[in-house]
Amino acid sequence: MPVHKTKKPVKAKTGTQTSARKNGKQPIAKNGRSAKPGPPSPSAEAKAQYTAFERGIALLHKRSFRDAKEMFEKARRGPSAEIAVNATTHVRMCERRLAAPAPEPKSAEERYNYAIALINLRNLEPARRHLATALEMEPRADHLHYAMGVCLALSGDPHGAYDSLRRAIELQPRNRMVARQDSDLEGISHQPLFNRLLYPE
């Protein structure tokens, strides 16, 4: 029988893998499977966008429409198109809430509720006026004195805030515990006068 000559193995040409990549083909790993890249990690911009949107939702639930609008403005400039669209919708929602004229409150309770909404928006001067009118109508309402104390504290009037909070506690002692946990009073609660009022024991 004629002896067949053994063919020499053909060496792969240099640049084969490079050509495969140029042609859009996946490079082959040693085990014969396609080498797939790992999932990309979320970027810092995407995380910041998501965080801003979540904060906007929380502020919206608290009816802090102005601060919520700022968060949604940040969120709609992020890389996620879906979050950006939702954020734009919420920006418009906040704008409608801020632009809508509120009905003029009449009773003391209506003025109180309106003043609380204004305090949350940090519109402190009109909030103080509504609370003052409400107190003229119901001078022994402890929650009105308490709200006035918070409003004056945020306005930078610690003496007026002290008088209002002291009266609120006199009318209803449980207001002392409420004031201890009120974040709006953190700016003045460390002062000795307020410390003695909130922690008399």
**pLDDT tens for each residue of 37-81:** 544 456 899 999 999 999 999 998 888 888 999 999 999 998 999
Number of domains composing the chain: 2
Span 87-106, average pLDDT: 83
Query: Taking the model in full, what pTM does it have?
Result: 0.51
Specify if 14 maps to a domain.
Answer: no
Question: What mean pLDDT comes out for the span 131-154?
Answer: 96
Same structural domain, 88 and 113: no
One domain, residues 140 and 168: yes
Q: What is the CATH number of the domain that holds 145?
A: 1.25.40.10
Residues 178 and 118 in one domain: yes
Residues 115 and 181 in one domain: yes
**Is residue 147 a part of any domain in this protein?**
yes
**Domain extent for 173:** 108-198
Give the burial class of 31: count Cβ atoms within 10 A of its Cβ; 0-12 exposed, 13-18 middle, 19 or more buried.
Answer: exposed
In this structure, are 65 and 132 located in the same domain? no
Tell which residue, 101, 98, 75, has the closest CA to residue 87: 75
Looking at per-residue pLDDT, the higher value among 135 and 22 belongs to 135
Domain membership flag for residue 12? no
CA distance 46 to 43: 5
* pLDDT band per the 50, 70, 90 thresholds, residue 9: very low
Q: Is the pLDDT of residue 13 over 60?
A: no
For residue 13, being part of any structural domain is answered with: no
